[in-house]
Structure 1
Amino acid sequence: MIAVSDKSPMSFDEFMDWYPENSENRYELRRGGVIEMPKPRGKHSRLAGDLAFDLGAAIRQANQLYFIPKECVLKIANDTGYEPDIVVLDELAIANEPRWERESIVTFSQSIKLVVEVVSTNWRDDYLVKLADYEAFGIQEYWIVDYLGIGGRRYIGSPKQPTLTVCTLVEGEYELQQFRSDDRLFSPTFPNLPLTVHQIFQPGE
């Protein structure tokens, strides 16, 4: 995670105008500062890809009117925008998004069914900053996929171990439920998802 812009603070619209086309890097806007994000590589990349495939299969099997875009930027506030590892959108609600067709930007929390972040070395972003921002924005469900078990002990316990945390919005606040090893994942958005944490963290086994 590297701050890359000399212009500070930057608005969301300025950030989108600045964002380089066809960039090899990913960028996010956080409290007006532009942050270069490490591109998913290796196991991180495969895990996110496989999980997106599994979620897509669950959507089709249940005939849900959801979809997973290849690229999507969430406008969380006038000075904050995120590009999650996976986002599940509501096909009906997205019709009301003024910037979706032209820019793949989502501005209303009602359009978002699920956000997934795969934890890398900058684990505090996912457990602290983004959790608070997604909660305040009103995203109904947020997964923190910590396949390395590197989050703080206050979040995943001691001894640390790979953990998937499902955050569900209840009366404006996230309730957190943790899943590990052979636990079957429970998701309010995908209640029939037939996956254990081990299957998600160790794809192909």
Structure 2
Amino acid sequence: MSLVEPIPTEPAVPWRPVQPLTRDDLDRMPDDGHRYELIDGVLIVSPAPKRVHQHALGNLYYQLRTLCPAELTVLFAPFDVALAEDTVIQPDLLVARSDDFTEHDLPGPPLLAVEVLSPSTRRFDLMLKWSRYEAAGCQAYWVVDPDTPSLIAWELRDGAYVQVAKVTGDEAAHLTSPFGVTVVPADLIS
């Protein structure tokens, strides 16, 4: 009798759920410092962000919070935005009507979603999240790249995103949705 396990002849097949994951499945994920999101029933796990990411996020939060009208709320991740039963995402920063929040989540699109790019999230932020926010009717979507530094902003017009700003370094983006604000990417990382 051999004590050595036989070598498999076929490559291992990664585990996949039989059906798309839902909000209930997401609620059972561990609180371990990772960000867990669902996009069309597929689990997306992201590591904790780096210092430059958090620095840019904090500066932008402060700027938006200072200018935010009383009827709106600015929040930063982690906070769930439930776009559908199989799509629950956590934008790095969001602005929504204060009355639209529950204690647990925002059950629908925010007025503004902001993602600060990281190497591990860049493709999701620029493609998947961009398209899900657009389809859900999120009025404005901004992407900040702290490494460049740069900002690209889109606004929803006739059901589709239109780029309204693309600035780098010391250039200023004068944005109006969901309220007036001027963002200079270099200021976000200083």
Question: TM-score higher than 0.5 here?
Answer: yes
Aligned length: 174
Moved over 4 A (4+): none
* RMSD across aligned positions (CA): 2.2
Question: Counterpart amino acid of 1:180?
Answer: T
CA offset digits 1:56-83 (Å, max 9, x no partner):
1111xxx431112354211122222111
> Residue 179 of structure 1: which of 167, 175, 187 is its match?
167
What is the deviation of 1:180? 1.5
> Residue 117 of structure 2: which of 95, 119, 130 is its match?
119
CA offset digits 1:153-200 (Å, max 9, x no partner):
xxxxxxxxx421001000100001311222212222265424322212
Please show how residues 8-19 of structure 1 align to structure 2 within 5 Å. Answer: 8-19=18-29
Structure with more of its chain in strand, by fraction: 2
2:128 corresponds to which residue? 129
For the pair shown, the structure with the greater C-alpha radius of gyration is 2
Question: Counterpart amino acid of 2:155?
Answer: T
CA offset digits 1:116-138 (Å, max 9, x no partner):
10011131111111111100010
Question: Counterpart amino acid of 1:46?
Answer: H
Verify: 1:106 aligned to 2:126, yes or no: no
Question: Counterpart amino acid of 2:115?
Answer: E
What is the deviation of 1:140? 0.2
CA distance in 1, matches of 2:18, 2:147: 33
Please show how residues 11-30 of structure 1 align to structure 2 within 5 Å. Answer: 11-20=21-30, 22-30=31-39
Structure 2-normalised TM-score?
Answer: 0.81
2:87 corresponds to which residue? 80
CA distance in 1, matches of 2:28, 2:154: 32
CA distance in 2, matches of 1:69, 1:30: 21
Gap change, CA 1:8 and 1:55, over 3 Å in 2: farther
SS in 2 for 1:126: helix
Gap change, CA 1:5 and 1:83, over 3 Å in 2: farther
CA distance in 2, matches of 1:42, 1:68: 21
Question: Counterpart amino acid of 2:124?
Answer: D
What is the deviation of 1:15? 2.5
CA offset digits 1:73-106 (Å, max 9, x no partner):
1112222211111111211333xxxxx22x2x22
Identity fraction in percent:
25
